[in-house]
Amino acid sequence: MKEAYLAVDFGGGSGRVIAGYPAEGRLQLETVYRFPNRQVRMGGHIYWDFLSLFEDMKRGIRMAVDKGYRIKSIGIDTWGVDFGLIDKQGNLLGNPVCYRDSRTDGMPEQVFARIDPSAHYAVAGTQVMAINTLFQLYAMKQEGSPLLDVADRLLFMPDLFSYFLTGVANNEYSIASTSELMDIRACRWNESLMRVLGLPEHLFGDIVMPGTSRGALKPDVKAELGLDYDVEVIAVASHDTASAVYAVPTAAEGEVIAFLSSGTWSLLGVVCDEPVLTEEARLHGFTNEGGAEGKICFLQNITGLWILQRLMSEWGDAGLCTDYEVLIPAAEEAEFATCIDVDDTRFASPVNMADAIVGYCREQGTPEPHTQGEFVKCVLLSLAERYRRGVEGLNRLLPRPITRLQIIGGGSQNRYLNRLTSQSTGLPVTAGPVEATAIGNIQAQMELVARR
């Protein structure tokens, strides 16, 4: 049997179970199982289908066992900010609500009517986005959600998957840092903020660092997966961005590398030893997120390929072309130069993305896209322009300017976007690794084993 580490990587649109093992002096990867991640609209809210995702995760682990892998450990990473609530008996209190749900509309304004935004940023160091856990919880409090009355523990998405595998409830550092509820410098919960806003402090548990054990698989889970040996779940940098950034190559002497994790979201930033909590950083919309080895990922959250993904979905439903090999060349040839603000809230979860883009252009008095190639070019030009502004913001805050941009994740395969980004930012662009998140996830597992 071949020994392997398993990375379970949940993204906003899909999930994967990937086996990794060292061979011939490098890390070898095999995608064992890939599955969709759906957002379900029901009763006026948008949910994640946690039960299906948990079953898909188990199916992927079983498939790895059936392929003959002997599993050394499992690491789980997901998108940020979302969570599930469990009661005192360990039962899940409903499917987690998706960050694209409208319940947080107007919540930042309500919160900052009660607290000073500058003082808050000096502690949390978090880019204010309505999707953040802070505003999700405040929305639940404002609507009098009965779930808060019966909940015993809040578990972010990777914590929740880990809990139902191991029975151990805790909160991993990198995912907790996306919540806007941490004291990022002290690496502890901001309990004074919770008291001011009337949020239940008991929901938040121990913060565990990447590279520590979260516990072994429960006996019933082992039996279900066909395992007759113990397997640990390791706390990797469980925010998918933090795991991806951990796979970025080390900078050469004199280099300042910025990372751009390109997927449904784009995360643009640099790795620092300490958080940057200045007023200028707050005003420019930068966030400080926990990373592997206790580092800080100082970055901006930017709407990424989500807009293009939604367009592709709509075109597929309409029977139109969804082949990137056709659409990207069409975009390159299109005589079109209109840009949109990719971070405009109208693009967060529209009923129809194409209509939202056309409506934005009409409001701005700019040419509207008509062909599929023009829509694709509009999105990619707009992303490149947004990356340029992000790089300029970083350069104003860093002691030395960025000299190279490393694009990682699935979006790094879009060579046209990479070229537009290089042209827009004036920086050399290096692409890859594509599987950065899985690599960073598995590296954290391997390093813990090596330390023992």
Nearest to 174 by CA among 211, 215, 199, 128: 211
Distance CA 288, CA 246 (A): 15
Amino acid at 360: Y
**Alpha-carbon distances, residue 266 vs 48, 161, 270, 303, 407 (angstroms):** 21, 24, 13, 6, 10
As a whole number of Å, the CA-based R_g of the chain is 21
Q: What's the residue count for the chain?
A: 452
CB 203 within 8 A of CB 151: yes
Determine whether 240 is an active site residue. yes
Which residue in the list 9, 82, 159, 240 is annotated as catalytic?
240
Does 433 sit behind a cis peptide bond, omega within 30 degrees of 0 on the bond before it?
yes
Buried residues in 33-70 as b, exposed as e (16+ CB within 10 A) = bebebeeeeeeeebbbbbeebeebbbebbbebbeeebe
Distance CA 307, CA 328 (A): 15
Distance CA 12, CA 98 (A): 10
**Alpha-carbon distances, residue 228 vs 50, 79, 218 (angstroms):** 27, 31, 12
Active site amino acids: 240
